[in-house]
Structure formats: structure tokens, C-alpha cells
Structure 1
């Protein structure tokens, strides 16, 4: 097992090193940001209104769930332990400066998230059960075409079907089990069994049940977590300006050893900030495009903009709250790691007696929703490769993996997840670069006609996208 762990660590170090995925991830997001003329900044307001206020397209549209349910399902899959344990891990190894690089990943990643959701909605197909299927495994093959498109599509589908067991399953259930054991003394075996049953019950209903569950669960869990964060930050309000100064300074200078913190370099802050940023918001990973393809929407641009807001909510809101709570409380200089560090931070101030319990409960709901969302992602990729007949076997295997994750070693689980994340992102990022011209042309053409996303469906029916 030690040999395997060493191999995983070496592979993760290469994949997330300074010469491979990090420049490709940030470069693709920045490239798309420039080509789309800062779309994520110009259209964030209308996109939030369309996704959270309007909530669904009038008179529906082709698809299986509303675009609000698609947004909450994507949020369910991303607002998970990455927002609690992932942020703490990034700061615990890379220092407070890692939070800055998580923000950068989120900001430029919004352009990537828009682009992949746009393509997912545009190039979706109907499967044998009459349900929408889309995502990089479809648009890489159909939009790029030829052997290049086929290879990229198959590579993504294989990596995503496997990555779902890491980022979307075992890291989540492992953190649930560890948190409940530390806080309440619940045996990991019991946690694994309960999670396995709950996930299995939801997955039996498919995407429509998943959409219904996440539409109710996600807003509630995010709101309660943010309320807890506000209470702690309120008690540490005088430390907030200093926390921001530390975050920005350490992002470019590294962090000196202090307390239980052993110090870090700029490279570590960058590596762990970007890696955990991607783990948290999944921008550029291609996963959100899979559920975007299932949404009822009258135009791919509209769905792309709604999906884009998921990265904003995940990283610029939830991750920021977690990071500021950790830095202002000083918990990052202690001995605690992962979710335990966030629990220690939440236990400062007015939540001193219940902070650990609050984080443990948040971990349960965040992680459980992530498992549910990623089950759908992995299944859609598996059915692309092997047909609809593998749907039920994949769900069954995914459900059993919840128990395995609860009992496996945490460090190894995170390492495997990092490797699979990187391998999954690679073909999608290449595809986004190759298809950037198509994305830009159709986006500009649509927004010239409907700049505020207010056109009724009837006004869109005669819209012919440019080629």
C-alpha cells in the first residue's frame, strides 16, 4: 500500500505541477475570459436573476429538469467537502495565500464553466430512455469531430466515470465518517452504511429525483453554513482587514513558519490553491456541462450563464467564508488538519460550544449532496461508453463505494481524487480551446439580440445561431 501511495503522490505532483495542468487550467480560463470580453463580470447580474429569481424558463424547453434544478444539482456536486476540508487543506499546506489562488481559479474559471455548459446544452442528445445526455463526452465528439474529437471524448468519459468515485464519492464519505467520528463518536462503518442506503434510495429515481432533492436541500444547507460563518466573522471582525492583507501578501511571498504551521512557498500556495479551487468549483473539469445538458432551456447561452453562477456561489461566496473564518481565527497555525481545522475555526467566538457540531453537520449535508450529484455525472459518462444497460450496475457500484470511502485512508483518497481530477480536466480544456471560436461567435450573436436575458421564449424561436 505504501508503494501505491508513493506512486499516487508522485503522479499528483506531476499532474498538478507548474508545467502541466496549472498553466493549462488558468491559461484556458484567462484565454476564454479575454475572448468573451469578461462575460462573467458583465453578465453576472442577469445570470443570477435568471437562475435564482426567474428559476425556470417560461413554458419550459427541451430537457428533463428546470435550469434552477440543474444549477442546484451542479451546486450539490461542487459545494462539498472541498468547501470545508479542501479549503483547510489548501491553507494548511500552502498558507493563507492559497486562498488567493482559489479566488483566481474561480474568477477565470467562470468563463470556462460558461463555455462548457454552453457546449453541453448545445450538443446534447436523447438517449434510449428518452432522457437528455450531454457534456464533454458528447460535444468533444460531435463539435470537434474526426479522430481527435473521438479520442478526447472517450478519454473524458473514461476519466470522469472513474473520477466520480474519487472527487464525488470516497473523498466525500471519508470526510463525513471522520467528522462524525471525531465530533460524535460514530463508527465509520455505521456512517458508511447509512450513507450507502440514503444515496441508493435517491439514485433509484434518476435525474428527476436528484433535481427535486437538490433544489430543496442545497439552498438551505448553504444558507445555514453562511449564517454560522457570519457569526464567527462578526466576533473576529477586527481581524478581517489583516486577514485579507495576509492572503494577498502570502500569495506572492510564501508564508513563514508560525505556531504549528511549518511554512510554505509561493509554489505550494499556487499548487494547492489551484488544485483545491478546481476540486471545489470544478470549473474547466467539464462535469457541470453534464447536468446543464439535462436542463430545460431555450438557448445554450442562457443555460451557460446560469451554470456560470455556480462557480461564483461556490468559490467567491462559500469558499471565501470558510477561508476567512480559518485565517481570522488563527486556526491555520494549529495542529488540526482538513475539516478538523475548519471545526476549530468555527469554534471560536459565539459558536465555541457548538462550532465542531456545526461543521460536522455541514460536512454531512454538503458531502451527501455532492455524492448524489456526481453519481449522475459518472453514470452519464458510463452510458456514453457502454450504453444504457450499464446504468443500474453503475449506480449499484457507486452506492457500494460510499461504504469503501468511509473506511479508507484519507490521504490516499485525496491523492487519487487529485490525479483523476487532472486527467478528467485535460481533454475538456483542450476541447474548450479548440471550440473557443464557436463559443464566442454564438455567444456574441445571442447577446446582441438579448443582452439582459429578458426575451420571452417566442422571441427566441426564430433565432438562428451563427456557425
Structure 2
């Protein structure tokens, strides 16, 4: 069974899918004049600048359930988690240092992919009689592409349901429980039960708004703590930074030999693992995060789209890079470990046990908030596939599965998630290409409106 799963995963993450993802991202980048690079001042001012000025707290920013800041932090809660900590480590352990380069490539082109996804999700979202907002790829496929879109939407919604089950209900709890067991020696099953009980309290007491409020308060300090911890590890190994970058660039285009506990890798393996973990981390091309952005209060779809650019920048360009450099500079990347344990090895080499305890708490909060944030994606695909009333029925599946997931082998969990992501990306890439004229029109209109102010 597992060999079949590995074969399917390798096929999905082969050259054709890489060409499709990078190709769509490059196409959108060219058509927008590489806005993610040339317009960095604009999207920083309209996202981070507004957050710092606290404009996101205004109640007059448009219709929606969450403020743009809450939407951003809820999405980051879902993306800044196991993908950045365990996923990056697994990519390096299997694909070698060169995998990091392909994460960067995916991030750069993914910024525009993510902006297109978010913009279209807000443009085609719907509001229910209960005042709840639903949006995402299945909605812009169905409402923007006619009969073809309905077919793509059905495929996407089903694949998203599987991916959310794999990521939110398996990867996040598994990473959290493994971390807690490694540092605090708490049994895996006990951790799974605690996670579920706490999540039920938050979700059942307030739904999406409660999740947004929790993430708005918890995610920013979590990210700052993790960035500081990484910088200390890198700083203590500052002399190894040039060689770390050299390895990343060298083994992105050449096979990495077997060293220590590292079995060696090919260029294809480095490319595939780096791309898979990069996409899995920042979700650019998957469209999953747009289910959260679609609930945001915003004055313009393209304005919210800029928060998608910022999201990829924070997630991959900053956090994934810092994790990678911590592992490579500390010299533990080829010790034979993988996943969250490898990242912990890097931090343990500098921080000792005290630092590991502090980091473990941060990792627990990362993965727990990820699990919470993914509930928005879960309820969106359930609403589309089975109807709004079934959300309250099937949410119990969301609560039960993590208890089972914590006891699985970590590599099995990641392979399930990778396979599900592959099935999601393909219909979404097709839809983005077909809807690119609508996105480019919304994008240009918004840029023109900014010039007039």
C-alpha cells in the first residue's frame, strides 16, 4: 500500500506539475510586471503599513466576518506551522540542501499566484442568510467558468476535503504530539486528546470569529519568538553561513552525495521535495488559504490579494529560510534524523535543554493554531460538497481524527499530505489560467485607483 502511495506522490510531484505551477506563476508575474518585486513598496504599504497603523481595526473597511489582519493571522496560523518547522527539515533530510533553492523559486512565483487566488476568492465569494461568508477556488471555478468550472470545482472540493483531513487532522497533531513527546515525554495519545478538547472549546463557542480573534492575538508573538530563536542559532554559527548558501546553490543543480546519515539525492528529488514543502508551507497554488481570505472585510478584492503576497513572503522567504539556515549552519542536516526532530537538533546544539523547552512551546502553539485555522478550510469544502447544515455534523470528524493521527509514522503522514496537495493544485492551476483575464482586470483597476489618490 505504502509503495503505491510513494509512486503516486512521486508522479504528482514530477516535472509536469513543477512546470505547470512555475509556469502559471511566471505568466502572472510577467503580466503584472513582476509586481511582487517591482511593487514591493505598494503591497508592503497596503498590508504591513496598514497593520502597523491599526487601520485593520476599522469597522468601515467593507463587508466580511474577519478584519484583514485577522484573516492574515488566521491564514498564517494555518501555514506557519509544521510546514516551516518539520516540513523544511524533512525536505533537506531527503532532498538535500538544494531543496531550499526550489522553495525560494516556488515562493517568488507563488506570490503572484497567491494574489490571484485571493483576489478571485473575494470577487466570487457568497454570503449566507446567517451572515457567514464562503469563498475559495470551488466558488470562483463554479461562478466564473460555467459548466467547465462546475466540474473543476467538484474535483477541487473533494481533493480539498482529503487534503484538509491529511494536513489539519494528521500532519499538525502528529507534529505537535511528536514534539511534546520528544521534549516533555507526554504520551502521544494524551496529547491528541488534549488538542481536541481545547479545539472544541474554541470552535464550538464562537466559530470563525473566535478562531480569528485567537489567531490575531497568538500568531504575531509566536512568529517573533521563532524568528529570534533561529537568529540566535544562525548567529552562533555565523561562520558557516557562506558554506550553507553555497550548498543550497550547488545541490539545486547537481546531485547531493551521501554524507553521514544523509542517503544522497538527485536534482529531481531536491526539486520535487523543495517544491512540495514550499507549496505545502505557503499554500501558493493550492488555493486553500483563500477560503479564509474570502471572509475578510475589504474595500477591494485586489487589496486583499496583496495580503496574499505578504503571507507568502513571511511564510517562506523569511521563516522557511531561517529554519533552513539553522539546520544547515549548525551542521545537523545530515545526521539521519528528519521532521521536527531534526529542527530540534539544530536548536539543541545552541540553546541546550532550556532553549528546547521554550522552542517546544512555540512549536506547540504553531501547530495548534494551524489546526484551528484549517477549520475554516474544512467548513468551506464541507459546505460546498454537502451543504451548510452538514458542517455542524461533519465537524465531529474534524475532532476525532487527530486522536488517531498522533500515533502514525511521520513520513507516512507527510506522504498522504503530499499526494492530496497534488490533486488540489492541478484543477486550481487550470482555473487560474482561465480566469487570469478577470484577475488582471481587477488588479489593474485597483492599481489605477491607487495612483489617483
Q: TM-score range by the shorter chain?
A: over 0.9
Identify the residue that residue 255 of structure 1 maps to in structure 2: 256
Aligned length: 447
CA distance in 1 between partners of 2:105 and 2:340 (Å): 23
How far has the Cα of 1:345 moved from its partner? 0.7
Mapped contact 1:95–1:264 kept (Cα < 8 A): yes
Identify the residue that residue 186 of structure 1 maps to in structure 2: 186
Identify the residue that residue 460 of structure 1 maps to in structure 2: none
Identify the residue that residue 324 of structure 1 maps to in structure 2: 325
How far has the Cα of 1:400 moved from its partner? 1.1
CA distance in 2 between partners of 1:282 and 1:381 (Å): 16
Mapped contact 2:93–2:338 kept (Cα < 8 A): yes
CA distance in 2 between partners of 1:331 and 1:93 (Å): 13
CA distance in 2 between partners of 1:405 and 1:43 (Å): 42
How far has the Cα of 1:409 moved from its partner? 2.6
TM-score of the superposed pair, with normalisation by structure 2: 0.96
- Consecutive unaligned residues in structure 2, runs of 5 or more: none
Residues 432-451 of structure 1: pairs in structure 2 closer than 5 A: 432-451=432-451
- Consecutive unaligned residues in structure 1, runs of 5 or more: 456-467
Identify the residue that residue 228 of structure 1 maps to in structure 2: 229
Match 1:22 to one of 18, 30, 35: 18
CA distance in 2 between partners of 1:41 and 1:414 (Å): 32
How far has the Cα of 1:363 moved from its partner? 2.3
Residues 53-452 of structure 1: pairs in structure 2 closer than 5 A: 53-55=49-51, 56=56, 58=58, 59-146=60-147, 148-204=148-204, 205-349=206-350, 351-451=351-451
CA distance in 2 between partners of 1:57 and 1:365 (Å): 24
TM-score of the superposed pair, with normalisation by structure 1: 0.93
Residue 47 in structure 1 maps to residue 77 in structure 2: no
Structure 2 SS opposite 1:259: coil
Mapped contact 2:287–2:428 kept (Cα < 8 A): yes
CA distance in 2 between partners of 1:28 and 1:91 (Å): 26
CA distance in 1 between partners of 2:27 and 2:421 (Å): 21
Structure 2 SS opposite 1:112: helix
How far has the Cα of 1:57 moved from its partner? 7.1
CA distance in 1 between partners of 2:338 and 2:349 (Å): 16
Mapped contact 2:279–2:286 kept (Cα < 8 A): yes
Mapped contact 1:106–1:312 kept (Cα < 8 A): yes
CA distance in 1 between partners of 2:363 and 2:22 (Å): 28
Structure 1 SS opposite 2:289: helix
